[in-house]
Amino acid sequence: MNRVVGAALSVLAAGATLGVLAVVRASDHFDGPRATANAQADITDVFCFTSPENPSNVVLAMAVTPYASASSSFSTQVDYVFRVRLVTAPVPLTMDPTVLDVSCSFDRSTPQVVRCSAPQGLVARAIVGDTTAGDAGPGSPMRVFAGVRSDPAFFDRQGSLATIASNRTTFAGQNAFAHANVLAIVVEIDAAKAFLPRLEAGAIADAGLSDDAGIDARRMPVLAVAAETLVRPVPQ
């Protein structure tokens, strides 16, 4: 029995050691055992910027599924969520607790259809792969794209791995994600319609803050944004 226990521990130790080496990947690729084991929910990158096509809009984008193939699909059991809060004061960083999330989910049809919902009842749908967002232009309150894209990450994975392991910068300029693809969700949304009504509704006053805190939040409609993937419970 001791030999069996020893063998089991050896396998675990080897797995743990190699696991440490394997999880240091890129922007957010393969960041931890659970995300690595569930590629459909493994967030690789998040972007957030004002729209180049319409300055009233903000663009929220997340990529998942490292090394996606043409047959890769979004999970029907995962909620792909952009967590959004309104910054009410910069110093110290203070956010209004009101939830302003944008949540996207996918059905089982072929091709899949993505549906995203946002504050103020905004909803957008699109067929996966449709780069026109169902002909929703930049003037739409909300539009969404979902589908395969070139991985926007460029990162020397091996160099970073070696750098951390040796505590010495050891980069060789090898992009681990050259010519790779990901699954991307891109939501463009009218910021004033979706998020800023909360500002008008008195988020700053509700937070008990004054403009003396630093930058005037009313002239700085700043959002805090992150992405999360959540597996929905299976009904019993």
Partner 1 sequence: MMMRCIALACAAASALLACRTGAGSEQPDASAPTPIEAGIDDGGTPLGNADARQGPLQVDRAGHPLVSVLLVPPALQDQFNALSSFAPNVPRVLQEGLASRLASFDTIRLGDGGADQVDWTVDGGTHPLLSVFVNDVLLVDTALPCTSPDGGFVSSYLEIDREIFLGGSTHATCGGRTPNENIVDETLALLITADRDGGPAITQGISGPTKWSTTSFPYLAEPNEGDP
Q: Which of 196, 198, 203, 204 binds partner 1 (CB under 8 A)?
A: 196
Separation of alpha carbons 41 and 84, rounded Å: 19
How many of the chain's residues bind partner 1 (CB under 8 A)?
Answer: 127
> What mask of x and - would describe binding to partner 1 in positions 119 to 138, judged by CB under 8 A?
------------x-x----x
Name residues contacting partner 1, limited to 200-229 (CB under 8 A): 215, 219-229
The token duo for 233 is: 């419970």
Q: Name which of 183, 184, 180 is nearest 67 in CA terms.
A: 180
Rounded to a whole number of angstroms, the minimum distance from the CB of residue 204 to partner 1 is 15
Q: Which of 118, 128, 142, 191 binds partner 1 (CB under 8 A)?
A: 191
If you ran DSSP here, which 8-state letter would residue 169 be given?
A: -
DSSP string, 62-108: EEESTT--TT----TTEEEEEEEEEEEETTTTEE------EEEEE-S
Separation of alpha carbons 55 and 138, rounded Å: 10
Q: Which of 98, 113, 122, 149 binds partner 1 (CB under 8 A)?
A: 149
Name residues contacting partner 1, limited to 20-79 (CB under 8 A): 20, 22-50, 52-53, 55, 58-59, 61-63, 66-67, 69-72, 75-79
